[in-house]
Structure 1
Amino acid sequence: MKKTRAPDLTAERIKLVLDTLDRWKGKLTWDLLIDAIRKDTGHTYSRFTFAEYTEIANAFSLKKDALRGTWKGEGGQPRDERVRAALEQVERYKAKVERLEMQNQLLLEQFVTWAHNAELKGVTVMMLNAPLPKPPRDRTKGVE
């Protein structure tokens, strides 16, 4: 029986993977992440597919590092469920901010590389900053 291929990772599916990583607790492996995404989407992606997407690979590595540091110093859990839920939400937001800051840094580095390479090819900053052309509008003249 032929195995069906999972659909391409769209921006929405990538966001789902990143959100899953942001709220991840406990041991993290590629297989565990793949299983979690399969449960959420019904599709099985490979480790290599996830690793092809820099955002996912970086977020995975960052979360692994964060989890390694987290397990050493955690104290007891608060008894109040609302406080516990708020603390979990704070942790998710902190993880997301950390991931987005890292992603922003990588994009800035990519921009510097592009700017340098463009300059080597004689493309000026003014040329790069030129506004995009207006899209053609499908307007009929004189038709009512």
Structure 2
Amino acid sequence: MAKPSLSTTQVRQIEKILYRWSGKLTWEELVDQLENELEITTTRQTLNSYSSISGVFKSTKTRLRGISENYQNSPNVSLEKASLLDKIEKLENEIIGLRTQNQQFQGLLNDIRMEAESTPLLMDLLISVKRKHQG
């Protein structure tokens, strides 16, 4: 199996960028943004090979299709308010993405726990790992 070209930290940073993305989104634009912001040189094929990045990319594209006119184009909203509203919207989108990710992790942990109930060695290992993280 090939070694992953992105670390877990880099994958999380890329997901965070996607959660906050506004405007047109393409793989090429994401690759450019990663080079500029995170100094990560990669390709769209590599990014698409990570299921979490691909999933967040698709959900971001869906979200962006539903966005109506930007706040900055509204005459009733000052530039400062538009900036704050935009920031709130990006943070709300990030929260939604993180909640989805959290649910997926909880499901995985539940499956592992259920499997461990019938495998004593696995249960002992999980208890040991849990103690290390609590103490």
Distance 1:82 1:68 in 2: 25
Distance 1:112 1:48 in 2: 32
Superposed CA RMSD in Å reads: 2.9
Q: 2:100 aligns with which of 99, 102, 113?
A: 102
**Does the alignment pair 1:66 with 2:60?**
no
Q: CA deviation at 1:107?
A: 0.9
2:37 corresponding residue in structure 1? 40
Q: CA deviation at 1:88?
A: 1.0
Distance 1:74 1:85 in 2: 10
Q: 1:93 aligns with which of 91, 97, 111?
A: 91
TM-score by length of 2: 0.72
> Rg larger in 1 or in 2?
1
Q: Which moved more, 1:125-134 or 1:106-115?
A: 125-134
Question: Deviations for 1:97-133, whole angstroms, at most 9, x for unmatched residues?
Answer: 011011011112222332333345x238963652447
Q: Which runs of 5+ in 2 are unaligned?
A: none
Letter in 1 for 2:99: E
Distance 1:129 1:15 in 2: 25
Q: Which moved more, 1:36-45 or 1:79-88?
A: 36-45
**Does the alignment pair 1:22 with 2:19?**
yes
Alignment check: 8 A CA contact 2:35 2:41 kept: yes
Letter in 1 for 2:35: R
Distance 2:64 2:81 in 1: 21
Q: CA deviation at 1:49?
A: 2.1
Identity %: 26
Question: Deviations for 1:29-77, whole angstroms, at most 9, x for unmatched residues?
Answer: 2222112112224443122322333332222122111111223x76743
Q: 1:8 aligns with which of 1, 5, 10?
A: 5
Change (3 A) 1:123 1:47: farther
Q: Which runs of 5+ in 1 are unaligned?
A: 1-6, 135-144
